[in-house]
């Protein structure tokens, strides 16, 4: 994300988004720039009109407050289900003996 932020900062400042500028912003922010990432970012952004993309960006809707979850049943039924499964497995094993 810091690479995108660097590019946006350069755009906002009216500077050319090039490898040298991105590296300078990242270095100033205390990030060691990766040359491959910088090159790919600059190449990808050269084909994009950042101003138009920002205008078309849709704001995320406000967070919807979730309704409280219904009270969960106690854990005892889960244990009963496990016991029933073991009984069924045991019965299935016995039926295998009698074919």
Q: Based on the structure, what is the number of domains in the chain?
A: 1
User: Residues near 55 by Cβ (< 8 Å), separated by ≥ 6?
Assistant: none
Q: What is the CATH number of the domain that holds 46?
A: 1.10.10.1410
Range of the domain at 10: 2-56
95's tokens: 């039926």
The span from the first CA to the last CA of the chain, in angstroms, equals: 63
Structural domain includes residue 28: yes
Mean pLDDT for all residues in the chain: 78
Contacts (Cβ under 8 Å, ≥6 apart) of 35 = 19
Q: Is residue 17 part of a domain?
A: yes
Q: Does 77 map to a domain? A: no
Residue 18 located in a structural domain: yes
Query: Is 85 inside a domain boundary?
Result: no
What would the pLDDT profile of 47-66 be if each residue is shown by its tens digit? 899 888 888 886 655 555 56
C-alpha 24/C-alpha 18 separation (Å) is 10
């Amino acid at each position: 994300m810091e690479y995108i932020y660097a590019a946006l900062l350069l755009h906002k400042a009216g500077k050319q988004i090039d490898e040298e500028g991105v590296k300078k912003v990242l270095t100033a922010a205390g990030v060691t720039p990766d040359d491959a990432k910088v090159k790919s970012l600059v190449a990808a952004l050269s084909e994009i009109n950042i101003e138009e993309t920002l205008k078309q960006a849709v704001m995320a809707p406000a967070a919807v407050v979730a309704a409280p979850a219904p009270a969960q049943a106690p854990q005892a039924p889960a244990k009963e289900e496990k016991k029933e499964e073991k009984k069924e497995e045991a019965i299935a094993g016995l039926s295998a003996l009698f074919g």
